[in-house]
Amino acid sequence: MTDCIFCSIIAGKIPSQKVYEDEYVYAFRDISPQAPVHILIVPKVHIESATNINSDNAYLVSKCFEAITKIAESENLNDGFRVITNSGKDAGQTVFHLHFHLLGGRPFGAGLV
């Protein structure tokens, strides 16, 4: 999709710190990390947000989570991690290409799930 920053990153038109890639998924370090490990996992196909997941593309969510397991291992997140997806304005979604924030490397404690 034109004018989508994550599509441009996937296409290599905008640089990123890639940590994982396969046929379906691309993952890279968040430019503004909120934890020692903060990685964005995105399907290569442009899906706007969680509300656009349907029976035709749901397998890509599974592919994202399979990637998350591999990345958590390679990043040594052996004590656990948090996965967040923001959907829509109230959630604070700023990039409208479905993505999962993988956060780890410190305890998050109680609050906000």
Site string for ligand AMP, 27-66 (x = CB under 6 A): -x-xxx-------x--------------------------
Rounded to whole angstroms, the Cα distance separating 89 from 108 reads 24
Site string for ligand AMP, 2-31 (x = CB under 6 A): ---x--------x-x-----------x-xx
SS (H, E, C) 14-57: CCCCEEEECCCEEEEECCCCCCCEEEEEEECCCCCCHHHCCCCC
Give least dist CB 31 to ligand AMP, A: 4
Q: Rounded to 5, what percent of the chain is helix, strand, coil?
A: 25, 20, 55
- Give the containing element (helix H, strand E) for 95: none
Tell me if 86 contacts ligand AMP by CB under 6 A. yes
Select the binding partner of residue 45 from Zn ion, ligand AMP, none (C-beta < 5 to 8 A, by kind). none
Question: Closest Cα to residue 18, out of 33, 30, 32, 5?
Answer: 30
Query: 43-82: which residues touch Zn ion (CB under 5 A)?
Result: 46
Name the active-site residue from 46, 97, 99, 101: 99
Would you tell me which residues interact with ligand AMP (CB under 6 A)?
Answer: 5, 14, 16, 28, 30-32, 40, 86, 92-95
